[in-house]
Amino acid sequence: MFTVLIADDEADHRDLLAIALSRRGYAVVTAPDAPGALDVLAKGGIDAALLDIRMPGDTGLDLCRRIRSDPTLETLPIMVISADVHHDRMTAALHAGADDYLAKPFARDELMTRLGDLLHRSAAGAIRSAAASRAALAAARHSLPQPTPVTRRQEITVRHIA
């Protein structure tokens, strides 16, 4: 089961999203603002974040930038959800590090499909990263100098010395 963070200052929006996601089998954690979201993220266990742009204090874009600047969170899938559909705002969200931008109002099926895609891409990336790590380790092992075989005479000499 995936755990999704919803960061939105509107309690009704958080609740509606939480209900929709819960019905589809997601675990949901909510936060009313960027500091609350960062507290949740610091505890770990979050698989994706849905961020509203307009929040008091730090905006969703500010939060997105902070998440991307944290090495432990930089690969977290982020979807910005906002009623602000201006092209500049969408572009700013993507430049801030968002993986997707969903305009309100939206169909629940579209949200679920796009969120599922983000989570599966993230999981596939983790698998590719693990495979790349294994390949790098194998290459490093092959690049190490091979030990020279010990002759029977050297083995006997070592036993007598010991």
Does 35 fall in a domain? yes
Does 157 fall in a domain? no
What are the phi and psi torsion angles at 119 (to 5°)?
-65, -40
Does 156 fall in a domain? no
Does 46 fall in a domain? yes
pLDDT of residue 78: 96
pLDDT of residue 127: 46
Mean pLDDT in the chain? 84
SS (H, E, C) the chain: CCEEEEECCCHHHHHHHHHHHHHCCCEEEEECCHHHHHHHHHHCCCCEEEEECCCCCCCHHHHHHHHHHCCCCCCCCEEEEECCCCHHHHHHHHHCCCCEEEECCCCHHHHHHHHHHHHHHHHHHHHHHHHHHHHHHHHHHHHCCCCCCCCHHHHHHHHHHC
pLDDT in tens, 67-91: 999 999 989 999 999 887 777 888 8
As for how many domains the chain has, the answer is 1
Of the chain, the percentage scoring pLDDT greater than 90 comes to 56
Nearest to 53 by CA among 15, 16, 13: 13
Does 152 fall in a domain? no
CATH code (residue 81): 3.40.50.2300
Does 98 fall in a domain? yes
Does 145 fall in a domain? no
pLDDT in tens, 9-53: 999 999 999 999 999 999 999 999 999 999 999 999 999 999 998
pLDDT score of 124 more than 80: no
Does 40 fall in a domain? yes
Q: Which domain holds residue 94?
A: 3-140
pLDDT in tens, 149-160: 656 665 565 555
pLDDT of residue 56: 86
